[in-house]
Amino acid sequence: MPGIFRRLASMLYEALLLAAVLFAAGFVFTAAFHSPLSPVLRVAFQAYLLLVTAAYFVWYWLHGGQTLPMKTWRLRVASADGKPLRFGQACLRFICALTGILLGFGILWALFDRDRQFWHDRMAGTKIVLSPES
């Protein structure tokens, strides 16, 4: 199991990359709707950005188990048995990660978990493993 520092560094890099992805997605949305955001469009915009975020993570987790920051830090997400994630498992991991982060305990969970897993990994039956150098 990789150390918490490596996983947190990857998450920081992930946040920067995700900000760029969401900026580009936001540009596409605002280009399509040439008006200031009404309350209805604001909710649609937020749902759209959430869907883009989910698609980003789920797609990468299902196609090799790594996002670019995870590759950089040599991390990979896998099922608890070491196999690649299934679609439902990747979606559950995303939902649990979002919930844990928004409520503020998802990352802190690793400090108390016997295997140092984050809450979303424990709930989704996944784990972060160290990838061999490429």
Q: Which long-range contacts (CB under 8 A, 24 or more apart) does 11-18 make?
A: 11/69, 11/107, 13/69, 13/72, 13/73, 14/67, 14/69, 14/70, 17/67, 17/68, 17/69, 18/53, 18/56
* 128, pLDDT greater than 90: yes
Single pTM value for the model = 0.91
pLDDT mean over 118-133: 92
Number of domains in the chain: 1
The whole domain housing 71 covers 4-130
How confident is the model over 37-71, as pLDDT tens digits? 688 888 999 999 999 999 999 999 999 999 999 99
